[in-house]
Amino acid sequence: MGELSGFKLLGILVLAGAVATGGLYYTVFKSQREANAAAQVKLQAKVRENAELEAYRPKLADIERQLASLKQQLEIERKIVPDEKEVDNFMRMVSAEARKAGVEVRRYTSRPYANKDFYTEVPFEVEFDGPFYSMLGFFDRVGKLERIVNVSNLLVASSRKPGDAHPKHVYQYAPNESVVATCVTTTYFSHDLEPAGAGKPGTPAKR
């Protein structure tokens, strides 16, 4: 009778253990296995992604060189066509080239700006005088500037008959100054896309 009771107790313990094990399997163990499976899927996806990116590693140096080249080109373009209306700097630049060439700039008068799709034309009427070869040297210097400067409507006259160049004023020219000239110098500024149209009228600018 006592042995039978012992077998029953052992059976109950075994059954309880099986139930507990089954409960753990369907709760803790199963959840952990599912989490591990999900983590494995993510790991495999990351491994594939890294493998795809690894193919671009040899190209990284080329991409960096291309970016450096583009930055250099952008800096050069900003010198040729600045992205701001640096009018004062433009006039100082032209005056500096005139001094180097031995030419006297008498007047700058701004004309109306002209807005295009991607840039703005900023013209100035300029009046100057000096020796003939100095005048040639001045135009040669302007033509070699990094920044784009176009010269148009050029009128040249002898200092003995300056009126042929239509200057605003007649000055007391030095003995070696044989030429008086007026022209329109036009520089350019880049800007964002805007409707085309004339800009605000220019006003006389002093040196």
pTM, to two decimals: 0.53
CA-CA distances (angstroms) from residue 188 to 25, 39, 116, 124, 131?
A: 78, 60, 10, 11, 29
E strand residue ranges, 44-118: 104-110, 114-115
**Distance in angstroms (rounded) separating the CA atoms of residues 45 and 149:** 58
- Residues 101 and 39 placed together within one structural domain of the fold: no
Neighbours of 53 (CB within 10 A): 10
Domain that holds residue 127: 87-205
- Residue identified by tokens 């010198």 is 79
Residue 19 CB coordination number (10 Å): 10
Residue scoring higher pLDDT (88 or 77):
88
Diameter over CA atoms, the chain: 148
How far is residue 153 CA from its own chain's centroid? 33
Mean pLDDT of the chain, nearest integer: 75
Q: Are the beta carbons of 159 and 177 closer than 8 angstroms?
A: yes
The answer as to whether 78 is a domain residue is no
- 49 assigned to some structural domain: yes
Q: For residue 161, what is the domain's CATH number?
A: 3.30.70.60
Q: Do 34 and 112 belong together in one domain?
A: no
Same domain, 19 and 91: no
Q: Within 10 Å of residue 85's Cβ, how many Cβ atoms?
A: 15
DSSP helix/strand/coil, 202 = coil
Residue 129 covered by a domain: yes
- Structure-token pair, residue 180: 């008086």
**How far apart are alpha carbons 47 and 78 in whole angstroms?**
44
User: How many domains, the chain?
Assistant: 2
Residue 68 lies in a domain: no
- 180 and 95 in one domain? yes
Q: Residue 155 phi/psi, 5° resolution?
A: -125, 125
- Is 72 a domain residue? no
- For 85-95, how does the pLDDT look when each residue is reduced to its tens digit (9 = 90+)? 667 788 888 89
pLDDT tens-digit series, residues 146-161? 778 889 999 999 988 9
Q: Using an 8 Å Cβ cutoff, are 107 and 124 in contact?
A: no
155 in the same domain as 104? yes
Q: Decide if 126 contacts 182 (C-beta within 8 A).
A: yes
Which range (16-20, 32-36, 61-65) has the least confidence?
16-20
